[in-house]
Structure 1
Amino acid sequence: MAKNFVQPGNVIDHAASGADIASGEVVPIGNLLGVALKKIPDGETGSVRLIGVFTVPKVSAAVIAQGETLTWDVSAGAFDDNQATPATGDITGAAAVAWQAAGAGETTMQVKFTGVPGTVN
């Protein structure tokens, strides 16, 4: 193996700043999206998984097709469909994809986190 190999890149260390991060919480890191594997207390560093499928919050009114790229709505703390008008700080693009379809009224959905950078609006 190459001597400069560090790790597969599925998990990144991330420092909580300003508030605790709950286990299972979606975590924006620059242009990336991931999920905290354990609680990360404010001021400490913990592991955030960048690749995988997780059940996460969804904007209730959104209608989302399987395979659709998603918008992480920072203010709602939930995923919205890709037709939503992103606000400042929202992350759009290939960072997250609907693993399953989710209709209006549903408040959670399965999302594939890709490890691919999205766009911060």
Structure 2
Amino acid sequence: MRNFYQTGDTINATAPSGGVVSGQALLIGALFGVAATDAAEAAKFALHLTGCYRLPKATGNGLTEGQKAYWDDTAKKITGTASGNTLVGNAIEPAATDATEAVVRLAN
């Protein structure tokens, strides 16, 4: 197909203010992903938009297997709270209330 551009699992994104480090989860516009590489501010980097990742999680609420996972862009953490946050995928393992990480399947 002549108009095919790429699969879209990983895209070239522009690093935000302060740059990014490999493994960092971030929201760029309405796209949520995990940085594959380090990049200085304004440099291009590979951003994974699909896959399952262990991400920082807010304490105070747990996640059940299959539950919708939201990104709190202020705290830079996964939460089960929808209000004011961005839906980024689903938990693929339960995470206790006091857990600091959650395993999430990204769904952009």
> TM-score by structure 1 length?
0.83
Match of residue 3 from structure 1: 2
Mapped to 1, the partners of 2:60 and 2:104 lie a distance apart of: 17
Measure, in 2, the Cα distance between the counterparts of 1:61 and 1:18.
29
Displacement, 1:17? 2.5
Structure 2, unpaired ranges of 5+: none
Pairs within 5 Å for 1:1-40: 2-40=1-39
C-alpha contact (below 8 Å) 2:26/2:76 kept by paired residues: no
The corresponding residue for 2:93 is 100
Matches of 2:67 and 2:31, distance apart in 1: 17
How far apart, in 2, do the equivalents of 1:79 and 1:112 lie?
12
Partner of 2:83: 85
Shift, 1:71, TM fit:
1.5
Q: Which runs of 4+ in 1 moved over 2 A?
A: none
Post-superposition shift, 1:72? 0.4
Q: What does residue 68 of structure 1 align with?
A: 67
Question: RMSD of the TM alignment (CA)?
Answer: 1.3
**1:25 & 1:58 partners in 2: Cα distance?**
13
Contact 2:66–2:92 under 8 Å retained in 1: yes
1:21 corresponds to which letter in structure 2? V
Per-residue CA deviations over 1:86-107 (Å, capped at 9, x if unaligned) read 2xxx313xx3111111011110
Deviation at 1:85, TM superposition (A): 3.1
Residue deviations 1:57-104 (CA, integer Å, cap 9, x gap): 00021211111111201111100103x532xxx313xx3111111011
> Identity over aligned residues, as a percent?
25
* Structure 2 SS opposite 1:14: strand
Distance in 2 between residues matched to 1:33 and 1:112, nearest whole Å: 11
The TM-score, its normalising length taken from structure 2, stands at 0.92
Structure 1: runs of 5 or more not aligned: 117-121
How many residue pairs get aligned? The number is 108
